[in-house]
Structure 1
Amino acid sequence: MEKMKKISFVIPCYRSEQTLEQVVTEIREKMNTMKQYQYDIFLVNDCSPDNTRDVIRKLCEEDGKVKGIDFARNFGQHSALMAGLRYSDGDYVVCLDDDGQTPADEVDRLLEKLEEGFDAVYARYEHKQHSGFRNLGSKMNERMTRTMLGKPADLYISSYFAVKRFVVEDMIRYENSYPYVIGLVLRATKNIANVPVNHRERSVGTSGYTLKKLFSLWFNGFTAFSVKPLRIATALGAISAVAGFLYGIYTIIKRFLNPDVPMGFSSTMAAIVFFGGMMMLMLGLIGEYIGRIYISLNNSPQYVIREKMNLE
């Protein structure tokens, strides 16, 4: 007799005291109609300042299938995902948001694609209900992952996705301080599909992503999984050096052709400022890579768990 497959749901939680119960209820109701699967739910509280931890504790007390992880401080969404992935043991792992905008009742669409043979499946939203700022951030993230991480141009990336067990096992091998889940999935497999799902309007609150957090996430993505920024810096340095050399030749020729024309102080200062700025930018980028290496060598943790609920 074939063993019943298990689905593990991983939900990073932050400021979701008013929405989390509904998300869990929706998962339960949907999975009760899919008797061919077992399931459990991992709720990871990313040190939310509201009562999210108490809501998670209540859900764990009511249902043994709900597992809780409480961080000692805020480590970010991707670290919360990594914690949930490490404790999950499902044949398939589904990651989704805690705000109810990602429809848990359409998880069967993702699972059907995994059953067809794909290793990972991302939800594609035809009409996103995020704010203009968040949509702009998503577009920039899409361009970054395509350029820096080699994401296929036709692959849509979202926070609602499902992966097979072997992909999870490869992802959790990453123990450095700056996890970036999209990069880890792309590192493990290119056999990825999209499925269309609805995207709901946010019923409560606003997105926890600020401009600072989005920029930090993008920067983490391309410095943790790509050396292309260093190569771009090298190319810009070479172009600047050639430009400076040609400008120097131009200045000498101009001096010989018209000795009475005074040398341009403003153009000289502009060149100094430009090339000085380029060098500082490149040194800063190299310093960022070195700093991350230093932090990783010091075994800075991806996360610190204060409390586990329903987890032996």
Structure 2
Amino acid sequence: MTAPRLSVIVPVKDEEAAIAPFVTRVGGVLDGLREPDGTPLSWEILFIDDGSKDATLAAIHAAHRADPRVWALSLSRNFGKEAALSAGLDHALGDAVIPIDVDMQDPPEVIGEMLDRWRAGCEVVYGIRRDRQTDSLPKRMTADLYYRAHNWLSSDKIPEHAGDFRLLDRKVVEVIKLMPERNRFMKGLFAWSGFRQAGVEYDRAERQVGRTKFNYWKLWTLALDGITSASTVPLRIWSYLGAMIALVALVYAAFVVIRTVIYGADVAGYPSMMVAILFLGGVQLLSLGVLGEYIGRILVEVKRRPIYVIRERIEGQD
């Protein structure tokens, strides 16, 4: 395949109804883009079928037959969105690469402005959700809390309210492809890579076709992956907390000894003893949980299994 100027990579899972509307809208936007000399912009749309159980792959086949610039990789099972994004970055051919969701909540019309920023010298142009009113109040609040927590704990700052929708220069893509870790949080990897970055604001629309595959548990898991992959501060926090508790215990022990010497024998009450035991037990279990999160990630890394497995490729002429 001749390398196009722009690659759009789209992770999908059980999105059969969204494929055709997405290709129609995004293809129309891309066909309207021009190079600085006025020639049409060459492009491709690369779908990553992340273990769909419905007719998503058949819909992609149909889109490919209608336009060979649409092609796909079908993974052997559901590896998760981060793995699907990695597969797309590994196989995209363009000088610039744009990950985008198939639900079109991120408007493809912004791509033209991203390209302008790219041509002006920015190697990463990320989309910023100016208005998140289409999300529920709990989701908006937890998202805001997560961004603040991540940027406080990690030295790799991620732009607030910026998702995976962004333009990446080929140089950035090659850096991401060199990263060997299996526990992947793509927004953190994008931030770590550096380069000249700029933001483009847009209003996020409501989802028109299908339904989201992310529930609150998956979002919580993604948040944990993001923090533990980008920072060791949680481990340090529990080390400091343990030191503070030990210091308070020593001070209290000294107080008990001095009071016993001055006023005689002192028998501690049962309630205060139970509170101390339960508090320290809870702190120890929570500390083991934090440590276990990091040890589990070490286990995944040392196995060195592939991030994804490709079952089928849809490319060339059918």
Specify the code of the residue in structure 1 equivalent to 2:180.
E
Partner of 2:51: 47
Which of 90, 93, 96 does residue 94 from structure 2 map onto?
A: 90
Stretch deviating more after TM superposition (160-169 or 221-230): 221-230
Specify the code of the residue in structure 1 equivalent to 2:14.
R
Pairing 1:173-252 to 2, within 5 Å after superposition: 173-189=178-194, 191-252=196-257
Query: How far does residue 257 in structure 1 lie from its aligned partner after superposition?
Result: 4.5
Query: How far does residue 261 in structure 1 lie from its aligned partner after superposition?
Result: 5.1
Partner of 1:110: 114
Q: Distance in 2 between matches of 1:197 and 1:257?
A: 71
Q: Distance in 2 between matches of 1:212 and 1:233?
A: 24
Aligned length: 309
Q: CA RMSD in A?
A: 2.2
Q: Distance in 1 between matches of 2:17 and 2:124?
A: 30
Q: TM-score, normalised by structure 2?
A: 0.89
Contact 1:42–1:84, Cα closer than 8 Å, also in 2: yes
Stretch deviating more after TM superposition (197-206 or 66-75): 197-206
Q: Is 2:151 the partner of 1:146?
A: yes
CA distance 1:311–1:289, shift in 2 (3 Å): farther
Query: How far does residue 228 in structure 1 lie from its aligned partner after superposition?
Result: 1.5
Q: Distance in 2 between matches of 1:223 and 1:288?
A: 8
Specify the code of the residue in structure 1 equivalent to 2:30.
M
Partner of 1:8: 7
Stretch deviating more after TM superposition (261-270 or 25-34): 261-270
Which of 84, 100, 103 does residue 104 from structure 2 map onto?
A: 100
Q: Distance in 2 between matches of 1:200 and 1:246?
A: 57
CA distance 1:94–1:153, shift in 2 (3 Å): closer
Specify the code of the residue in structure 2 equivalent to 1:112.
D
Q: 1:156-206, CA deviations, whole angstroms, 9 ceiling, x for partnerless residues?
A: 422311111111111111232211111111111053221112211111333
Specify the code of the residue in structure 2 equivalent to 1:31.
L
- Secondary structure at the residue paired with 1:8? strand
Partner of 2:38: none
Contact 2:98–2:165, Cα closer than 8 Å, also in 1: yes
Stretch deviating more after TM superposition (123-132 or 248-257): 248-257
Listed as ranges, the gaps of 5+ residues in structure 2 are 36-40
Q: Is 2:19 the partner of 1:20?
A: yes
CA distance 1:141–1:77, shift in 2 (3 Å): farther
Q: Distance in 2 between matches of 1:311 and 1:258?
A: 90
Partner of 2:127: 123
Q: Distance in 2 between matches of 1:236 and 1:114?
A: 46
Partner of 2:274: 269
Stretch deviating more after TM superposition (95-104 or 59-68): 59-68
Specify the code of the residue in structure 2 equivalent to 1:6.
R
Listed as ranges, the gaps of 5+ residues in structure 1 are none
Q: Distance in 1 between matches of 2:243 and 2:16?
A: 53
Q: TM-score, normalised by structure 1?
A: 0.91
Q: 1:248-271, CA deviations, whole angstroms, 9 ceiling, x for partnerless residues?
A: 223333434443653122212222
CA distance 1:209–1:260, shift in 2 (3 Å): same
Contact 1:176–1:300, Cα closer than 8 Å, also in 2: no
- Secondary structure at the residue paired with 1:73? coil
Q: Distance in 2 between matches of 1:119 and 1:250?
A: 61
- Secondary structure at the residue paired with 2:16? coil
Q: Distance in 2 between matches of 1:226 and 1:277?
A: 23
Contact 2:52–2:78, Cα closer than 8 Å, also in 1: yes
Query: How far does residue 155 in structure 1 lie from its aligned partner after superposition?
Result: 4.8
Specify the code of the residue in structure 2 equivalent to 1:289.
Y
CA distance 1:136–1:306, shift in 2 (3 Å): farther
Contact 1:142–1:157, Cα closer than 8 Å, also in 2: no
Q: Distance in 2 between matches of 1:274 and 1:294?
A: 30
